Each structure stands twice: as C-alpha cells, then as structure tokens.
Amino acid sequence: MLVDSHCHLDKLNYDDLHTDVAAVVDNAKQRGVDYLLSVGVTLKSFPNMMELIRPFDNVFASCGVHPLDIEEGFDYDTLKKLASDDRVVAIGETGLDYHYQPELAEKQKDAFRQHIRLAVELNKPLIIHTRMAREDTLQILREENAQKVGGVLHCFTESFEMAEAAIELGFYISISGIVTFNKASELKDVVRRLPLEKLLVETDSPYLAPVPFRGKENQPAYVREVADYVGLLKGVSGEEVAKVTTENFFNLFSHAKQR
C-alpha cells in the first residue's frame, strides 16, 4: 500500500489525459496507491476541489492558501469555515516562498502565522511550502507553537539541517519526484541521512513527474517511482518504503481514516 501525501487533483488535465477523477484514482490504485491527499491552494478553488473528490472515501483534503497565491485573497474566517469540513485532514498548503515573490514576504508571513493558529485551533497538522526562506519558516513555526500539531515540509528541497530542525518540531519531510532528477545530489544525500520513520512520499501532481516520466504531466500513480527510488537510496525495498511512509502518513494525519 502507498499514499500520495500531496497532489492537486483539481489541476490535472481532464481534457486530454484523463477521463475524470475516477480514472486518476483508479490508475493510482492499479499501482498500489490506495490513498491520496488532495491539497488546496486558494480559497476560491477549494469548493470545486471538494466536489471533485467527495465521492472517493480514499481521497482526503487539505485547505489553505499557497504563499504564491496570497494575492488572490486570504481571509481567516473563510479559511476556518472551509477547513472545518470533516474531509479536511490538514491545513495548507501554506508557508513562505521568497524565490518568486520576495516583495510579498510580509503578506506571506502574516498569512502563514494565521494558518498555524488555525491549525492549532482545529488540531489539524500543517502542510508547509518553503523556498529560499529557511530561517523565517523555522522561526515562525517556533513562535506560533506549530509543534502542537506538527505537519510536513512538502516537496522538500532544503538542507539536511533544516530537515533536522523541522523534525525536532514534530514535522515529517516529504519527498517528491525531484529526488529522481540527475542534478538533485543534495536532496539524495538528505534522503540517505534522514530516518525513514520521518519521511513521506508525494507526487505534487500535476507537477514534477519523476524519472522515467519527467517532462510529462505527473499523476498520483507515479508516487510508486518516488518510493522505489527512496528505497534505492536507503538500501531497502520499495515495499518497505511504502509500508513505513503509509504508517507515517496516518500517524501524522490523525483525522484521515483508513477504510
């Protein structure tokens, strides 16, 4: 059994590549991917995402405003109302991204803090996006007591030291298809050094398809390639990676119920 701990099912190409969400979920199941977490990035798009996934009891949801979508609108009360749905098992994706929009750093930090406060209020873990903002991300997590709920640094591409600091706060580190890329030597080393008991695997589909699908649209079925590659790096089987990361997922996302 495998879990794709981070995908965006509302953003896949249903015009040319997939018939519908059911086909995507079935493709994943055919490869042993039994559970998916579909991640919201704007408040405006969240209701549509929920309608798409509601028929599938093996697909969970998270609710948040991505730091690069902060200008599309952020409102605490609206976020709280949407995130209180029983299908929502996490808050996010939230965090900081200074690579693309450093000029919005203050807006990002304010929204990030509010996401953490809501996560603590609702007792739901956080899904964190961080890029070129290591110190600020960790500082805000500490100041807002994010360790009370924990969470995951998704699509991790940062340093081993940041991973260690996040783990100390009760966070997991999620590995995407980037780990299979030839130039991802630092990330490969981080994966080798981190305990499997603190890792999750994800696709971040439709983005970042792993080798041998690089350049194509990603989909949850391809999390199998990520798990197998993590196994190669750590000297264990892909089945062992699947087993442990699935346990990790349900330990972290306690609101997610196995069928």
Q: Which helix (H) or strand (E) holds 223?
A: helix 223-234
Whole-number pLDDT of residue 224 = 98
Query: Taking all residues of the chain, what is their mean pLDDT, rounded to a whole number?
Result: 97
One-letter amino acid for residue 153 of the chain: L
For residue range 248-259, list pLDDT tens digits in order.
999 999 999 998
State the average pLDDT over residues 107-116: 98
Q: Which helix (H) or strand (E) holds 151?
A: strand 151-153
Interatomic CA distance for residues 32 and 3, integer angstroms? 9
Quick check: helix, strand or coil at residue 250?
Answer: helix
State the average pLDDT over residues 87-111: 96
Interatomic CA distance for residues 78 and 149, integer angstroms? 21
Interatomic CA distance for residues 93 and 130, integer angstroms? 10
For residue range 18-60, list pLDDT tens digits in order.
999 999 999 999 999 999 999 999 999 999 999 999 999 999 9
- Residue 142 in this model has a pLDDT that exceeds 90: yes
- Residue 206 in this model has a pLDDT that exceeds 90: yes
> Which residues of 1-107 form beta strands (DSSP E)?
2-7, 33-39, 59-63, 88-97
For residue range 173-186, list pLDDT tens digits in order.
999 999 999 999 99
Whole-number pLDDT of residue 106 = 96
Would you give the distance in Å from CA 77 to the centre of its chain?
23
For residue range 56-83, list pLDDT tens digits in order.
999 999 999 999 999 988 999 999 999 9
Whole-number pLDDT of residue 147 = 98
Interatomic CA distance for residues 67 and 195, integer angstroms? 29
Q: What's this model's pTM, rounded to 2 decimal places?
A: 0.97
Cis peptide preceding 47, ω within 30 of 0: no
Whole-number pLDDT of residue 73 = 87
N residues, the chain = 259
Q: What are phi and psi of 15, to 5 degrees?
A: -85, -40
Q: Give the other-Cβ count within 10 Å of 179's Cβ.
A: 23
Whole-number pLDDT of residue 259 = 80
Nearest to 38 by CA among 64, 18, 15, 76: 64
